[in-house]
Amino acid sequence: MIDNVDFIAKARAKAEGWLDAAYDAATRAAVQQMLRDEDPTGLVDAFYNDLEFGTGGLRGIMGVGTNRMNTYTVGAATQGFANYINRLHAGEARSVCIGYDCRHHSRDFAETAAGIFSANGIEVFLFEALRPTPEISFAIRQLGCKGGVIITASHNPKEYNGYKAYGDDGSQLVPPHDKNVIEEVKKVTVAGIRFERVAGRIHVLGADFDRVYLDRVKQLGLSPDAIRAAGDLKIVFTPLHGATFELVPASLRLWGFTGVHVVPGQGLPDGDFPTVASANPEEPAAFKMALDLARELDAELAMACDPDGDRIGISVKDDRGEWVLLDGNQANLIFIEYIIRRRRELGLLSGGEYVVKTIVTTELIKDIAERNGITCFDVYTGFKWIAAMIREQGPDKYIGGGEESFGFMPGAFTRDKDGVSSASLMAEIAAWCKTNGKSIYTFLKEIYAKYGFSRERMVYVVREGVSGAREIAAMMERFRYRSPRQINGSEVVLQKDYLTREAVEPLSGKRTPLDVTTSSDVLQFFLADGSKISVRPSGTEPKIKFYFEARAPMRGIDDFEQAREMADLRVEGMMTDIMRG
C-alpha cells in the first residue's frame, strides 16, 4: 500500500480534475470510486504521471487516468497530431490512414481518432477491421496520406495498448516531426479536443485494398519456378491471435503455396492471447502450439507473427531434425544473402544497391553486402531510421533492411518492418532450398562458412523507479568515461559514442566524427578479435541493454559446431567482464 502523503495528494488533485463535465459519466464514476477507495494504490498508479506522447507515440496500460491508455489520452494525442498536420500541410489536401490490432479497445480508440481527425477537416481512411501494421504503412503511401495512426502495443501484455504516429511516407515520425508533434500534444486540453465526428470525411478500407497490398507483396518473389516445384511443402503459421490471421495465409496462397496450416486455437483474433504467456515470436514458448502441429504434420517451416504483424519468428529443422528458432540476426542473414544471390543470378544487380541494418544488428550483414559490392548503412534502432535512409538514398536500389529484434523489411513499398512480406519471402526461400537439395538450416551454415561465423546475444538489466533510472544513467556514464581497454582478453580497438557522435581509437587516441545527424545514448566497443559490444538504455522500459557479438573462423560447414563453441565462449567471457566491470 502506498503511504507517501505528497505523492497521494498530487494524484488526488489530478484525479479530481477528471470529475469535470468534460469527461463522460462512466469515467467520472470510475474516478469517484478511486477517490473513495481506502487503498490509494489504484489512484496513484492511474494519476501519478501523465502518459507521455513520446517519439514513438503512446503506450501504456488501458484504464481511466492520466497515466493510462483511454479515450482522453488518445484524444489529446490525436488532436495534437491533427493540429500539426493542419499546420504543416496548410493549403493542401489532407488525409490520414488509421488501423488497429486485436487488443481490447483498439477499435474504440481507432474510431475516436477517426472522429477527431474528421472534425479537424482531415479526410480519414479507416480499415473496416484489424489489419497488420505493414499494410497500414503501405496504405499511407498508396493513398497519398499526410500521416497515419496504428493502434497497437505490439507484443506487450494484454493489459496494454498503444498509439503509433506515422508520417506521409508510411514511416514512424523522425526529427523534427516527432518533437514537433510532441509539442503540439502538450498544448492540448480536454476542452480543446474535437470529439465530434464528421461521417462524410471517414472512408472505409476493406478487402479490395487487401488485394492491392498483397499484389505488391507478391512482386518481391525471386524464385517462382522453385515454388512451382516445391509449393506443396508444409508450412505451419500462427498469428498468435493477432492481425495477420487472414493476410499471411492469403499471401502464401497467392505466391503458390498449397500446404499452409494455421494453428488451430490461435488463428482467430483475441486480445486476451489465451494460449500464450507472451504473444511475442521472439519467445520460444510462443511457438509451442505451432511446433506441436509442425511435428504432427512433418512440416518443413513454422512461422509466427506478433499481434500487429510487423515482427516475424521463424523455426526450422536442424541437421538432426529438431526444431530450432532462428534468432533475428540469423533470419536477417538468410534474407540478405538470398536476395543478393538471386538478384545476381537473375541479372537484377546494376550497381548502387544498398542494405540497411541497425547498429546493434550483426556486423556479418555488412560483410555479406561488401563482399558482393553492395553498400551497407548502419542506423539507430527502429525501422523509422531504416525508412529515413531510404528517403535519403532512394527506394530503387534498396535490397532490404532489418534489425536483430525479429524485424525485416524486404521492400520499400512499406516503411516499417513487414511480417507479411517476410513470411512470404521466407516460404519462397524454403522452396528454393528444397529444390536445391538442402534445408534452410543448411543454407544458414553455408552463409557462415562463406563469410565467417557470428554469434549474438542480448541481455538486459532491469532497474525500476527513479533510483533505477539514476543507476542506469550512472552505468552509462561509467562505461562512457571509464571505458574498458580490454574485454575478455582482447584489446578495444574502436569505441563509438553516439551521444557525442564520435569514434575513438584508444591505442592511438585518434578521434573521428560519426556520420550521424542526431545523437543517441548508445556506446559500442569493437575488439581486436572481431567482437562487438553495444550498450544502451531502453527507450520504453526501465532497462539497460547489452548486445554481444563474437566471431569465429569457418573453413566449411563441417566447422560449424567448433566455430559455434568458440564464439559462445567469447560471448560468455565478454558478458562476465562487462557485468563485473
User: Got the DSSP string for 303-357?
Assistant: EEE-TTS--EEEEEE-TTS-EEEPPHHHHHHHHHHHHHHHHHHTT---S--EEEE
Q: Are residues 426 and 514 in the same domain?
A: no
Q: Are residues 431 and 565 in the same domain?
A: no
Q: What percent of the chain has pLDDT over 90?
A: 90
Q: Determine the pLDDT at residue 463.
A: 86
205, 230, 257 — which closes off a domain?
205
Q: Up-side HSE of residue 192: CA atoms within 13 Å toward CB?
A: 14
Query: What is the pLDDT averaged over residues 512-526?
Result: 94
Question: Of 7-16, 146-155, 198-207, 254-263, which range is least confident?
Answer: 7-16
Instruction: Let me know: does 98 contact 166? Beta carbons within 8 Å.
Output: no
Distance CA 577, CA 579 (A): 6
Q: Are residues 262 and 368 in the same domain?
A: yes
Q: Determine the pLDDT at residue 466.
A: 67
145, 176, 205 — which closes off a domain?
205
**Does 6 or 50 have the greater pLDDT score?**
50
Active site residue 154: yes
Q: Are residues 60 and 9 in the same domain?
A: no
Q: Are residues 86 and 12 in the same domain?
A: no
Enclosing domain of residue 130: 55-205
Percentages helix, strand, coil for the chain (3-state, rounded to 5) are: 40, 20, 35
Helices 328-345 and 440-451 meet at what angle, rounded to 10? 80
Per-residue confidence band for 1, with pLDDT thresholds at 50, 70 and 90: very low
Q: Are residues 491 and 434 in the same domain?
A: no
Q: Are residues 240 and 384 in the same domain?
A: yes
Tell me, what CATH number does 289's domain have?
Answer: 3.40.120.10
Instruction: Let me know: does 162 contact 153? Beta carbons within 8 Å.
Output: yes
Instruction: Let me know: does 336 contact 355? Beta carbons within 8 Å.
Output: yes
Query: What is the pLDDT averaged over residues 54-58?
Result: 80
pLDDT digits (tens, 9 = 90+) for 10-36: 999 999 999 999 999 999 999 999 999
Question: Of 50-54, 126-130, 545-549, which range is least confident?
Answer: 50-54
Q: Are residues 112 and 172 in the same domain?
A: yes
**Does 302 or 466 have the greater pLDDT score?**
302
Q: Which DSSP letter does residue 263 get? A: P
Query: What is the pLDDT averaged over residues 131-156?
Result: 97
- What's the number of domains the chain is made of? 4
Q: Determine the pLDDT at residue 206.
A: 97
Q: Determine the pLDDT at residue 267.
A: 96
Distance CA 390, CA 354 (A): 9
Query: What is the pLDDT averaged over residues 211-221?
Result: 98
Q: Which of 104, 110, 115 is nearest to 161 (CA)?
A: 104
HEC string of 94-154 equals: CEEEEEECCCCCHHHHHHHHHHHHHHCCCEEEEECCCCCHHHHHHHHHHCCCCEEEEECCC
Question: Of 403-417, 419-433, 534-548, which range is least confident?
Answer: 534-548
Q: Are residues 369 and 485 in the same domain?
A: no
Reduced to 3 states (helix: H, G, I; strand: E, B; else coil), residue 460 is: strand
Q: Is the preceding peptide bond at 134 cis, omega within 30 degrees of 0? A: no
Specify the length of the chain in residues: 581
Name the strand (E) or helix (H) holding 456: strand 453-462
Query: What is the pLDDT averaged over residues 237-261?
Result: 98
The average confidence (pLDDT) of the chain is: 95
pLDDT digits (tens, 9 = 90+) for 354-370: 999 999 999 999 999 99
Q: Are residues 494 and 534 in the same domain?
A: yes
Distance CA 152, CA 133 (A): 9
Q: Determine the pLDDT at residue 137.
A: 98
Query: What is the pLDDT averaged over residues 381-392?
Result: 96
Tell me, what CATH number does 494's domain have?
Answer: 3.30.310
Out of 95, 106, 137, 154, the active site residue is: 154
Q: Are residues 291 and 363 in the same domain?
A: yes
Q: Determine the pLDDT at residue 540.
A: 64
- Phi-psi category of residue 100: left, alpha or beta, with phi > 0 → left and psi -120 to 50 → alpha: beta
Q: Are residues 196 and 244 in the same domain?
A: no
Q: Determine the pLDDT at residue 3.
A: 55
pLDDT digits (tens, 9 = 90+) for 234-244: 999 999 999 99
Query: What is the pLDDT averaged over residues 117-126?
Result: 98
For the full predicted model, state whether its pTM sits above 0.85: yes
Given a cut of 80, is residue 166 above it in pLDDT?
yes
Sign of torsion, CA 120 175 54 420? positive
